[in-house]
């Protein structure tokens, strides 16, 4: 049973609005012990590094470090994470000679340090020898080390190569000589010496030596089969073989079998007098809270396309993927130019983002080589260009996963690619048609080849492209090709660690989104044995409708919200975006207004969102907006009605009254100048002022209402200005409030009149009494 808040009796229930706020607050509070939301946690025997701890601990260290640079969204990183955890558990006794660490480059707070270490693909493993000085000292592992054994052997080889660097926490790993073994007990104060004879390519003795690193009173040395002198002296005939030499001169064999490493380690640790020493093992945790904190779950509609996902994918490709290289030139630079050109031509983004992309395209086009610093400067939002900006951080809505390491960027990138192919197909041009803008599908292929961080995913996509992309002849075929390959990827990744359990990878679109897209009755689940048969004509129509510009929505786009949960900035921009869509529809003769109204009718209201008003303020037939009374409103009542306070209506009336006042001042000045008391017509100055008013109100989401105010409207408002001032004086008050004020005014007037009559009669009475002083 949940505990009741202190001071709240059994009959005092918390209002629903307060309960929602408390629940939202509790979801945002960090949970103790849940420090990392990436692929690893503090419970794993490895070190969680961050931007402020990486250099401090791997540079000038007596330990060798092996660091995995990964991205929490990367499917290959998710598949590799169990192997890296198994390796960490397998070599945990090698510390502090070998330390294993991880850092999440998908965390925006770590992106600069990943750039500094030259990370451009994920996962990347780098070995740093003892006393490393700079990022260039890191030795990158090849992609062939995919098993625990292969990784373990690569680490041993790397550690052995840097044995000349002293002091080091690592034990001697090189083969022992006759002289070293003869004088061993004279130079080392230990009781036991384990000598392991093995083949030249064996790693057994070195693994056992590192396994025994944390134990005292024993040492392990390696003798190779090629050392014939020692092999004959100890009469060794089989390899591997182990001998235990005691400082009193006695010698015995070490039992072993198929699992030589664990058998030797167990035997040596159980010898009398052998004990685990007090070894300092550093445990490093990020000092800063991770930026991938669990956000409040967003109520989204899978039938919609969200602008937040599209723009987040664009910023991720430009600010993260393309910014990791020290310089861009040749084929990689050419691929980036084509990608930006495709975005400029086909991406249906906001006007500020489109301006940003145009400026970037103009800057990038003549370049032959671009340094990383130059690219970062070009991507920076500049104050001198306030109408050309791109968000600094991604904000996922439709692509939000159940946890931050699911979906996100891969989902957003697929969505962006589908949107670009559909936008290009809507122009109804063939692939072979001449155009300055490169085709979308080949541009995607080159982007994935040169920039996509998950290299294994990039290789899979390249294999699919090499198989059949050359057969695409039209842009409609490009839309279907990308759709079919996306479903192939879903089939390959279904049930893997990259599959979000809340959003399982299915054959898309499902039946509930497009019933006519399949011949069969299957639900499209990849767990089904029956394979769906697609109606490609119906699928093409669905894709063009779903990924089109008209299906883009602005919900949850802005992060700043008002106190009652409404996103005023979002609504203001949404109105501006719809106006621009209407203008485009009128120019193309497509009837955008009618389609927008139909979309609005079919759109389901979301939880917590106030329904948009259907009447224009001030127009005939429009009902007066509801305004709650401020009378008898206690603190508790204010909290309960907080979510229904019509702040938008108040703001609308306020700014519209300011506009009418400015228009009235303009009319007074012109009447005085022209000596005209009748109706007036605005000249150039008046038109300029009216345009200024309209432009000002457009940014406050009042452009729709004020754009309809023509010259006749201004004349009408001037003739009825007395009524307007009465309306303005009543602004922010309901009819009940105004009625009560009038009633109180009448009662106070009657009271004053009664008091006046009373004192007048009293004075008359006193004047009539005898003895009253006469003047």
Q: What percent of the chain has pLDDT over 90?
A: 42
Residue 397 tokens read as 């809505």
Cβ-contact 105, 119 below 8 angstroms: yes
Q: Is the pLDDT of residue 10 over 50?
A: no
Choose the weakest-confidence range: 201-205, 210-214, 260-264, 652-656: 652-656
* Mean pLDDT confidence for 269-273: 93
What is d(CA 170, CA 213) in angstroms, rounded to the nearest whole number? 8
At residue 381, the pLDDT reads 92
Within 8 A by CB and 6+ apart from 348, the residues are 419, 423, 549, 552
pLDDT value of position 206: 94
Contact assessment for residue 478 and residue 439, using Cβ atoms and an 8 Å cutoff = yes
Q: Which of 169-178, 278-287, 289-298, 398-407 has the lowest mean pLDDT?
A: 289-298
The answer for 7, left when phi > 0, alpha when psi is -120 to 50, beta otherwise, is: left
Confidence of residue 773 (pLDDT cuts 50, 70, 90): low
> How is the beta sheet containing 251-253 ordered, strand by strand?
218-224, 192-198, 241-246, 251-253
Q: Which of 9-23, 324-338, 521-535, 725-739 has the lowest mean pLDDT?
A: 9-23
Give the pLDDT confidence score for residue 689 in this predicted structure: 43
Q: Are strands 192-198 and 218-224 parallel, antiparallel or unpaired?
A: parallel
Q: How far apart are CA 92 and CA 44, in angstroms?
A: 10
pLDDT of 692 strictly over 50: no
Average pLDDT, integer, range 40-47: 89
Per the prediction, the chain carries an average pLDDT of 75
Would you say residue 388 has pLDDT above 70?
A: yes
- How many C-beta atoms surround the C-beta of residue 342 within 10 A? 25
**Per-residue pLDDT, 380:** 92
pLDDT at 668: 57
Q: What is the pLDDT of residue 300?
A: 80
Please confirm, yes or no, whether 514 is among the known catalytic residues.
Answer: no
What number is the average pLDDT over the span 249-274? 88
Would you say residue 633 has pLDDT above 60? Answer: no
Rounded to whole angstroms, the Cα distance separating 358 from 352 reads 10
CA 558 from centroid of its chain's CA atoms: 14
Return the H-helix or E-strand segment holding 221.
strand 218-224
The whole-number pLDDT of residue 319 equals 92
Least confident window among 218-227, 501-510, 531-540: 531-540
Q: Which helix (H) or strand (E) holds 252?
A: strand 251-253
- What confidence score (pLDDT) does residue 768 get? 67
Model pLDDT for residues 467-495, shown as the tens digit of each residue: 999 999 999 999 999 999 999 999 999 98
Name all contacts of 205-208 with Cβ < 8 Å and 24+ positions apart. Answer: 205/240, 206/156, 206/160, 206/173, 207/152, 207/156, 207/261, 208/261, 208/264, 208/265, 208/268
At 102-154, the pLDDT tens digits run 999 988 889 889 999 999 889 999 999 999 999 999 999 987 667 899 999 99
Rounded distance, CA 405 to CA 312, Å?
Answer: 16
In this predicted structure, what is the pLDDT of residue 584? 52
pLDDT over 70 percentage in the chain: 64
Which residue of the set 18, 77, 411, 426 is catalytic? 77
Cα 355–Cα 446–Cα 342 angle in degrees, nearest 5: 25
Examine the pLDDT at 606 and tell me if it is beyond 50: no
DSSP conformation class of 108: G
State the catalytic residue, choosing from 74, 114, 514, 517: 74
Residue 700 has pLDDT above 70, yes or no: no
Q: Which of 294, 293, 295, 292 is nearest to 556 (CA)?
A: 295
Could you tell me the two tokens for 346?
């086909």
What is the pLDDT confidence band of residue 656, given thresholds at 50, 70 and 90?
low
What string of H, E and C letters represents the secondary structure of 46-97?
A: CEECCCCCHHHHHECCCCEEEEEEECCCCHHHHHHHHHHHHHHHHCHHHCCC
User: Taking 80 as the threshold, does the pLDDT of residue 770 lie above it?
Assistant: no
Res. 360 pLDDT band, cuts 50 70 90 = very high
Distance in angstroms between the alpha carbons of the first and the last residue of the chain = 86
Q: Which residues pair with 196 in a beta bridge?
A: 222, 242
Strand segments (E) across 527-622: 552-553
Given a cut of 80, whether residue 88 has pLDDT beyond it is yes
Give the pLDDT confidence of 400-418 residue by residue, as tens digits: 988 888 899 999 999 999 9
Instruction: For residue 15, give the 3-state DSSP assignment.
Output: coil
- Whole-angstrom distance, CA of residue 685 vs CA of residue 570: 33
98 in Cβ contact with 66 (< 8 Å): yes
* Amino acid 144: pLDDT: 65
Is residue 378 pLDDT above 90, yes or no? yes
CA dist 158 and 125 (Å) reads: 13
Antiparallel, parallel or unpaired: β 47-48 and 98-104: parallel
Provide the pLDDT for residue 540.
Answer: 95
Which range of 297-306, 470-479, 570-579 scores highest in mean pLDDT? It is 470-479
Residue 34 has pLDDT above 50, yes or no: no
Q: What number is the average pLDDT over the span 561-579?
A: 42
User: What's residue 707's pLDDT?
Assistant: 41
Element (H, E) at 196: strand 192-198
């Amino acid at each position: 049973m949940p505990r009741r808040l202190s001071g709240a009796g059994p009959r005092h229930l918390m209002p629903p609005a307060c309960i929602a706020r408390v629940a939202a607050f509790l979801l945002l509070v960090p949970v103790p012990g849940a420090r990392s939301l990436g692929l690893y946690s503090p419970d794993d025997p490895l070190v969680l590094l961050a931007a402020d701890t990486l250099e401090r601990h791997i540079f000038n260290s007596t330990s060798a470090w092996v660091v995995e640079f990964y991205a929490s969204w990367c499917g290959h990183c998710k598949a590799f994470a169990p192997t890296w955890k198994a390796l960490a558990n397998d070599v945990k006794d090698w510390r502090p000679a070998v330390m294993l660490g991880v850092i999440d480059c998908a965390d925006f707070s770590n992106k600069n340090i990943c750039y500094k270490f030259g990370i451009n693909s994920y996962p990347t493993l780098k070995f740093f020898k003892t006393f490393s000085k700079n990022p260039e000292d890191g030795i990158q592992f090849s992609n062939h080390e995919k098993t625990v054994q292969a990784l373990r052997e690569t680490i041993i080889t790397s550690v052995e190569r840097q044995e000349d660097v002293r002091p080091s926490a690592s034990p001697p790993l090189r083969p022992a000589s006759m002289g070293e073994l003869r004088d061993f007990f004279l130079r080392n104060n230990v009781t036991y010496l384990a000598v392991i004879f093995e083949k030249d390519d064996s790693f057994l003795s070195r693994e056992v030596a590192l396994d025994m690193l944390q134990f005292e009173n024993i040492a392990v040395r390696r003798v190779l089969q090629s050392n014939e002198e020692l092999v004959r002296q100890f009469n060794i005939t089989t390899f591997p073989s182990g001998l235990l030499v005691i400082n009193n001169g006695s010698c015995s064999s070490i039992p072993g079998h198929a699992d030589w490493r664990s058998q030797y380690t167990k035997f040596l640790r159980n010898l009398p007098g052998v004990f685990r020493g007090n070894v300092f093992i550093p445990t490093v945790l990020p000092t800063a809270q991770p930026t991938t904190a669990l956000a409040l779950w967003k109520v989204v509609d899978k039938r919609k396309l969200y602008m937040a996902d599209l723009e987040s994918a664009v910023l991720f490709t430009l600010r993260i993927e393309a910014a990791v290289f020290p310089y861009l030139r040749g084929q990689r630079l050419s691929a980036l130019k084509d990608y930006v050109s495709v975005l400029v031509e086909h991406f249906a983004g906001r006007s500020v983002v489109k301006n940003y992309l145009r400026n970037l395209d103009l800057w990038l086009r003549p370049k032959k080589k671009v340094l990383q610093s130059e690219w970062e400067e070009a991507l920076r939002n500049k104050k001198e260009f306030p109408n050309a900006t791109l968000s600094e951080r991604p904000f996922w809505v439709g692509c939000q996963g159940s946890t931050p390491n699911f979906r996100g960027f891969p989902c957003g990138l697929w969505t962006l690619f589908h949107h670009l192919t559909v936008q290009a197909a809507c122009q109804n041009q063939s692939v072979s048609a001449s155009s300055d803008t490169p085709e979308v599908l080949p541009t995607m292929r080159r982007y994935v080849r040169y920039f996509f961080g998950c290299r294994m995913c990039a290789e899979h996509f390249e294999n699919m492209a090499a198989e059949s992309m050359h057969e695409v002849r039209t842009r409609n075929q490009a839309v279907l090709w990308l759709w079919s390959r996306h479903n192939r990827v879903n089939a390959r990744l279904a049930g893997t660690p990259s599959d979000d359990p809340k959003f399982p990878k299915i054959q898309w679109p499902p039946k509930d989104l497009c019933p006519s897209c399949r011949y069969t009755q299957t639900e499209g689940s990849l767990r089904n044995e029956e394979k769906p048969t697609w109606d490609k004509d119906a699928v093409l129509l669905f894709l063009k409708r779903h990924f089109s510009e008209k299906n883009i929505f602005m919900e949850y786009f802005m992060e700043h919200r008002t106190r009652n949960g409404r996103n005023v900035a979002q609504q203001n921009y949404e109105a501006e975006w719809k106006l621009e869509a209407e203008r485009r529809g009128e120019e193309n003769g497509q009837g955008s207004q009618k389609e927008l109204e139909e979309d609005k009718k079919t759109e389901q209201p979301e939880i917590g969102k106030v329904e948009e008003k259907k009447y224009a303020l001030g127009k005939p037939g429009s009902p007066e907006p509801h305004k709650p009374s401020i009378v008898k409103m206690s603190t508790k009542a204010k909290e309960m009605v907080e979510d229904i306070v019509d702040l938008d209506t108040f703001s609308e009336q306020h700014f519209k009254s300011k506009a009418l006042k400015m228009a009235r001042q303009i009319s007074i000045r012109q009447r005085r100048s022209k000596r005209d008391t009748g109706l007036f017509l605005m000249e150039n100055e008046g038109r300029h002022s009216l345009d200024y008013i309209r432009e000002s109100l457009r940014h406050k989401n009042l452009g729709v209402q004020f754009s309809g105010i023509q010259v006749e409207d201004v004349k009408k408002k001037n003739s009825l200005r007395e009524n307007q001032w009465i309306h303005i004086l009543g602004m922010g008050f309901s009819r009940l409030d105004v009625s009560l004020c009038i009633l109180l005014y009448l009662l106070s007037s009657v009271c004053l009149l009664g008091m006046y009559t009373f004192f007048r009669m009293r004075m008359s009475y006193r004047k009539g009494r005898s003895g009253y002083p006469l003047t």
